[in-house]
Amino acid sequence: MLKEAVLTIKDLSFRYDLRTNDYQLNQISLDFNRGEWVTVIGDNGSGKSTLARVMIGLYPVERGIIQLDGVHLSEETVPLFRRRIGMVFQNPDNQFIGTSVEDDVAFSLENQNLTRSDMKRRVKEALQEVGMWQERKLDPQQLSGGQKQRVQIAGLLALQPEIMIFDEAFVMIDPAARRDLLELLHRLKEKHHLTIISISHEREALVYSDRIIQLKQGTVFRDGSLTEIFAADESLEPPMVERLNRALTARGRGISESYLTEEALVNFLCKSN
Amino acid sequence: MNQLIFGRYFPGDSFIHHLDPRFKLIFALIYVGLLFFLESTFYYLLFFVLTLLLMEQTGVKLAIYVKGVKPLIWLILFAVTLRIMTTSGGDVYLRYGPFAISSFGLTLGLQTFLRFVMIIFISTVLTLTTKPVEITDALYFLLKPLKYIKVPIEDLSLMLSIALRFIPNLLDETDKVMNAQKARGMVFGQGSLINQMKALVPLVLPLFQNSLKRAEDMADVLEVKGYQSNQKRSHYRELKWKKQDVFGSLFLLMLMVVVFVFQQ
């Protein structure tokens, strides 16, 4: 399939303190393609979260260009970027504005000044897609971490964005809920042809990535597929499927990259026997 | 910390629970206003019985309401005592310098006590039966005309809604920080007033720090979700004025007639 860049970054530099020369992002150039799942990895302080926040206009672009389908990010175009790019943050408790699940999903739609009937339809569709329609009247405090992040995803879906950014959004939830959430995102990505940019340390999240970008001291250190990235850096601990792939390859029975999810791996191994 | 009743919502299915929040807010405000126009003890007692009936209607136990009065009992007693001591007239039972205990003073003291208690009870009826977000919606609706003189009603109602939404988090967090400090040997509520105040520092500092972090996160979320000050927004929740609100309004009108016509 032909790759079509939806979000383009050219020579982006950013520093928190304009009086110093300490750049958190230094001449970064990247293309994010439509329908692609990109995971950004890197050590603490490598600039991952800063990059995400600059991309959505939370921090101003000091030097360089960010384009969404050819539109430059500027003070005037920020609202457009925020309609087309959604973001979920790390702490699920600090993201709820509404006092019920459906109120929270509707909040972004209220900001778009949509009619009540349109909002009701979109809220229902979004909550059904993430499997939270039954819980629509609940207080967010009553939900588990995984459910809270599902509601945040519903909030993004209701806005019908093209790009979803997850800033360490899978950290504060238990492993089983995390796997379910990643599966759900994978399905949504395929269904809506979404571009997903995930800032993550979680190895499970890497499995779903079409591409991994490794940042180091504010620059792009590596950019490639999961196999390429982990083959290039022995210090990185790869996900279980990749370790298994390596072990099988060593014995002349490697798995292709399309067998990277747990379910696909089980299917592959069962077929092999 | 979780003993605080005022400002909490108790889910229920009573007639009062189902009333429109705008009506409940107006009712509470006018009801409190009427209490200041009562002149005789008979009317005070009449309104007190009425307040008790309203409380009973909510289906919430009386003990819960009494709990709501407890934190303010010293303030009420202080005001009542001051009222008794500084009012003269009628039979004087005791005199000490400028202060006296008289039959007028005792009557006014009782009326002051009942007025304070009724104000707390009726506000508690409002908050126990109305979700915070409904109160915010009602306030937004009632203050909407102020938009024309450039008062940022949208921003104010959102601020109030977020503040109310975080009250349970803040209470839980206070409990956690208190427990964490107790585990480190901190003792709260003991010793001299100065020592008790000093003991609050390790409680207040982490709470402030966390609240500031939360406010920062919330500001980012608001921006990402497309909130802009002074923008035109639609509203998802709908307030509906129903038949019971009309009956409630007639009842309120009747109370006003009782106070301003019959009482004269």
Please write the tens of the pLDDT for every residue from B68-82. 888 889 999 999 999
Contact of B230 with chain A, judged by CB distance below 8 Å, is answered with no
User: In this predicted structure, what is the pLDDT of residue B3?
Assistant: 53
Sort out which chain A residues have CB atoms less than 8 A from B234's CB and list them.
109-110, 112-116, 119
CB contact under 8 Å between B218 and A97, yes or no, is yes
Q: How far is the C-alpha of B129 from the C-alpha of B12, rounded, in Å? A: 7
Percent of chain A at pLDDT exceeding 70: 95
For residues B227 and A99, give the distance between their C-alpha atoms in angstroms, rounded to a whole number: 17
Average pLDDT over residues B101-125: 93
- Cβ of residue B9 closer than 8 Å to a chain A Cβ: no
Joined tokens for residue B255: 């109370």
CB contact under 8 A, A58 and B131: no
- Do B226 and A141 count as a contact with CB atoms less than 8 A apart? no
Instruction: Identify the bridge partners of residue A164 per DSSP, sorted by sequence position.
Output: A86, A196
Place of tokens 């100065």: B194
Q: Looking at the domain A5-237, which fold is it?
A: Rossmann fold (3.40.50)
Residue A65's φ and ψ, nearest 5 degrees, are -130, 140
Q: Give the whole-angstrom CA distance, residue A107 versus residue B236.
A: 8
- Note whether A111 contacts B233, CB cutoff 8 Å: yes
Chain B residues touching residue A108 (CB < 8 angstroms): 225-226
**Residue B115 confidence (pLDDT):** 95
Minimal CA separation from A139 to chain B, in Å: 10
CA proximity to A107, closest of A97, A116, A99: A97
- Residues with Cβ within 8 Å of A174's Cβ and at least 6 positions away in sequence, in order, are A144, A145, A146
d(CA B142, CA B21): 11
Helix (H) or strand (E) segment spanning residue B128: helix B103-129
Given an 8 Å threshold on Cβ–Cβ distance, is B234 in contact with A109?
yes
SS3 state at B262: helix
pLDDT in tens, B125-168: 999 999 888 888 899 899 989 988 988 888 888 888 888 778 77
The minimum CA-CA distance between A136 and chain B, rounded to whole Å, is 13
Chain B residues closer than 8 Å to A120 by CB = 236
Using an 8 Å CB-CB cutoff, list chain B residues near A123.
236
User: So what's the pLDDT on residue A256?
Assistant: 64
CA pair distance A242, A206, nearest whole angstrom: 10
Note if A237 is an active site residue. no
A175 vs A198, more confident:
A198
Cβ count within 10 A of residue A16: 10
| Residues A52-58, mean pLDDT to the nearest whole number | 93
| Residue B232 in contact with partner chain A when CB distance is under 8 A | yes
Q: How far apart are CA B228 and CA B222, in angstroms?
A: 8
One-letter-per-residue 3-state SS of B135-188? HHHHHHHHHHHHHHHCCCHHHHHHHHHHHHHHHHHHHHHHHHHHHHHHHCCCCC
Q: B174 with B203: CB under 8 angstroms?
A: yes
**Best mutation target, A97, A136, A164, to test chain B (most B CBs within 10 A):** A97
Percent of chain B past pLDDT 70, that is, above it, reads: 97
Rounded Cα distance between B138 and B130, Å, is 10
Cβ contact (<8 Å) for A97 and B228? no
Using N-to-C axis directions, what is the helix angle for B243-257 and B21-35, rounded to 10°?
10
Instruction: Burial-class residue A96 by CB neighbours within 10 Å (0-12, 13-18, 19+).
Output: buried
Residues in chain A, how many?
273
Chain A contact residues (CB < 8 Å to B): 53, 56-58, 79, 82-83, 86-87, 89, 91, 93-100, 102-103, 106-116, 119-120, 123, 141, 155, 159
Q: Where are the beta strands (DSSP E) in B166-252?
A: none
Tokens of A61: 């672009």
Res B262 pLDDT > 90? no
Chain A: give the shortest CA distance to residue B196, in Å: 31
**For testing the chain A interface, which of B228, B236, B238 should be mutated: the one with the most A CBs within 10 Å?**
B236
Q: Considering just the CA atoms, what is the radius of gyration of chain B in Å?
A: 23
Considering only CA atoms, which of A246, A167, A242, A158 is closest in space to residue A199?
A: A167
The predicted model gives A163-176 an average pLDDT of 89
CB contact under 8 A, B225 and A107: yes
Q: What is the ipTM of this complex?
A: 0.84
Q: Can you give the pTM of this predicted structure?
A: 0.78
Which chain A residue lies closest to B237 (C-alpha atoms)?
Answer: A103
Per-residue model confidence (pLDDT) at position B7 = 61
Closest CA to A213 of A1, A52, A11, A17: A52
Q: For residue B234, give the nearest of A86, A97, A114 by CB distance.
A: A114
Q: Could you give the CA distance from residue B162 to residue B227 in angstroms, rounded to a whole number?
A: 13
B132, B220, B238 member nearest A99 (Cβ): B132
Of A99, A106, A159, the CB nearest to B165: A99
Beta strands in chain B (DSSP E): 92-96, 99-102
The torsion angles phi and psi of B137, rounded to 5 degrees, stand at -60, -40
pLDDT at B184 exceeding the cut of 70:
yes
Q: Measured between CB atoms, which of B161, B224, B235 is closest to A82?
A: B224
- Contact of B164 with B133, CB cutoff 8 Å: yes
Which of these ranges, A56-70, A163-177, A259-273, has the smallest mean pLDDT?
A: A259-273
| pLDDT tier, B1 (very low <50, low <70, confident <90, very high otherwise) | very low
Best probe of the B interface among A94, A96, A120, A199, by most B CBs < 10 A, is A94
Q: In 10 A of CB B198, how many CB atoms?
A: 11
Domain boundaries, chain A: 5-237, 239-273
Averaged pLDDT, A65-83:
92
Contacts of B226 in chain A (CB under 8 A): 79, 82-83, 108, 111-112, 159
Catalytic residue among A36, A102, A168, A204: A168
Per-residue pLDDT averaged across A178-193, rounded?
91
Both tokens assigned to A104: 């929270």
Question: So what's the pLDDT on residue A156?
Answer: 93
Minimal CA separation from B236 to chain A, in Å: 6
Q: Return all residues near B73 (Cβ < 8 A) that are at least 6 apart.
A: none
SS3 per residue for chain A? CCCCEEEEEEEEEECCCCCCCCCCEEEEEEEEECCCEEEEEECCCCCHHHHHHHHCCCCCCCEEEEEECCEECCCCCHHHHHHHEEEECCCHHHHCCCCCHHHHHHHHHHHCCCCHHHHHHHHHHHHHHCCCHHHCCCCHHHCCHHHHHHHHHHHHHHCCCCEEEEECCCCCCCHHHHHHHHHHHHHHHHHHCCEEEEECCCHHHHHCCCEEEEEECCEEEEEECHHHHHHHCCCCCCCHHHHHHHHHHHCCCCCCHHHCCHHHHHHHHHHHC
